[in-house]
């Protein structure tokens, strides 16, 4: 199956923004933040359509005058979506993403792209944005998902696949090793945005419920999701008793948000879900994200990649890298499943908005992980 044969409900338009205006606005803005005489010129290369579902991502080159010579730098602009484009998330705290990336790069040797300039007001492009360095590398694709085959990761040897898996898990161990994360990254605590709860995990779960409620409020024609509501009720009734010391949680911790060279991570991207909480939040997300793509593949008659990113392998590698034994990931995987349901509710609402799909009679028909979510709810008796 090629991308052109992909079902319409799996294609994603992210923005109605005028790209020619973006070019002019960026160029004019850079002239105000760079040293006098820089004379910046911007070349927009492309957006990124093969990965990610929320923020707008624009590739660009910026040429400036330095010491009498013209020098070109490669950048990526991360732009918060406009409200009229039906954002996936309830709010985009782009400044928090910027600071999380900056601190993670300073405090670890994790390959986090260097952030350059932040425009927090929205006065330039209509919404906030920041620029970061552009890294050369390849990414396991989301569209079509890498589990469908005919891509560099799927077609690699088992040894190469396992090296990519292990080095990706080691990234999490390094991020989680940052000391006193609750203080250093206090701005990421969900309490800052009003989430209630006695522990970081409880507050993260409260934010998940708020996100689901937002998905219901933001679309007047939306219908409730019984699957998500069952999941939330079980999660709230079964919060893990021991969540350990809070760590920096990357949030969207999956291999599709990394760039690789020789099957080793060279860039860790997409920090919009960063938070503080138990390390299992990242581990459960990494495992479950792969299970989603495997479910999409097998539901369409493709074998998938069942031997990649299995929970027991991820936990074993993580323990070897961090020295920390992690608990059972069942709760955290179900939490991830509920979050993915919220993502699919919002991305489908946006697809309806852009005319890519018709409004479905069954709101849960857009859940590409529906069989998996149903099975997980049955397993825990929810």
Enzyme catalytic residues = 252
Give strand pairing partners of 117. 131
User: 3-class secondary structure for the chain?
Assistant: CCHHHCCHHHCCCCCCCCHHHHHHHHHHHHHHHCCCCCCCEEEEEEECCCCCCCCEEEEEEEEEEECCEEEEEEEEEEECCCHHHCCCCCCCCHHHHHHHHHHHHHHCCCCCCCEEEEECCCCCCCCCEEEEECCCCECCCCCCCHHHCCCCCCCCCHHHHHHHHHHHHHHHHHHHCCCCHHHHCHHHCHHHHCCCCCCHHHHHHHHHHHHHHHHHHHCCCCCCCHHHHHHHHHHHHCCCCCCCCCEEECCCCCHHHEEEECCEEEEECCCCCCEEECCHHHHHHHHHHHHHHHHHHHHCCCCCCCCCCCHHHHHHHHHHHHCCCCCCCHHHHHHHHHHHHHHHHHHHHHHHHCCCCCCCCCHHHHCCCHHHHHHHHHHHCC
- Angle between helix axes 370-380 and 226-237 (nearest 10 degrees) is 40
Look up residue 270 and give its two tokens.
């997409």
**What are φ and ψ of residue 271, in 5° steps?**
-105, 20
């Amino acid at each position: 199956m090629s991308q052109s044969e992909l079902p319409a409900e799996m294609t994603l338009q992210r923005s109605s923004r005028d790209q020619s205006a973006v070019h002019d606005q960026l160029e004019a803005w850079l002239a105000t933040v760079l040293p006098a005489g820089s004379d910046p010129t911007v070349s927009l290369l492309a957006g990124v359509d093969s990965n990610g579902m929320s923020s707008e991502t624009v590739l660009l080159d910026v040429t400036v005058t330095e010491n009498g010579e013209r020098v070109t730098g490669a950048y990526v602009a991360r732009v918060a979506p406009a409200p009229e484009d039906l954002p996936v998330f309830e709010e985009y705290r782009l400044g928090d993403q910027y600071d999380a990336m900056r601190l993670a790069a300073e405090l670890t040797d994790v390959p986090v792209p260097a952030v350059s300039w932040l425009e927090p007001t929205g006065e330039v492009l209509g919404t906030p944005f920041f620029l970061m360095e552009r890294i050369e590398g390849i990414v396991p694709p989301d569209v079509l998902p890498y589990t469908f085959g005919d891509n560099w990761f799927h077609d690699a040897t088992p040894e190469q696949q396992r090296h990519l898996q292990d080095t990706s898990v080691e990234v999490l161990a390094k991020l989680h090793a940052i000391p006193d994360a609750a203080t250093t990254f206090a701005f990421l605590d969900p309490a800052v945005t009003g989430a209630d709860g006695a522990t970081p995990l409880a507050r993260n779960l409260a934010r998940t419920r708020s996100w689901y409620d937002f998905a219901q409020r933001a679309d007047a024609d939306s219908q409730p999701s019984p699957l998500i509501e069952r999941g939330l009720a079980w999660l709230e009734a079964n919060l893990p008793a021991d969540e350990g010391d809070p760590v920096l949680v990357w949030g969207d911790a999956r291999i599709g948000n990394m760039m690789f060279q020789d099957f080793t991570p060279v860039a860790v991207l997409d920090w919009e879900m960063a938070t503080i909480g138990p390390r299992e939040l990242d581990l459960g997300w990494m495992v479950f994200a792969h299970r989603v793509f495997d479910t999409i593949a097998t539901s369409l008659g493709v074998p998938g990649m069942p031997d990649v990113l299995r929970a027991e392998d991820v936990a074993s590698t993580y323990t070897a890298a961090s020295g920390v034994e992690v608990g059972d990931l069942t709760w955290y995987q179900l939490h991830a499943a509920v979050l993915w349901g919220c993502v699919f509710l919002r991305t489908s609402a946006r697809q309806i908005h852009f005319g890519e799909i018709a409004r479905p009679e069954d709101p849960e028909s857009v859940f590409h992980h529906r069989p998996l979510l149903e099975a997980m709810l049955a397993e825990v008796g929810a």
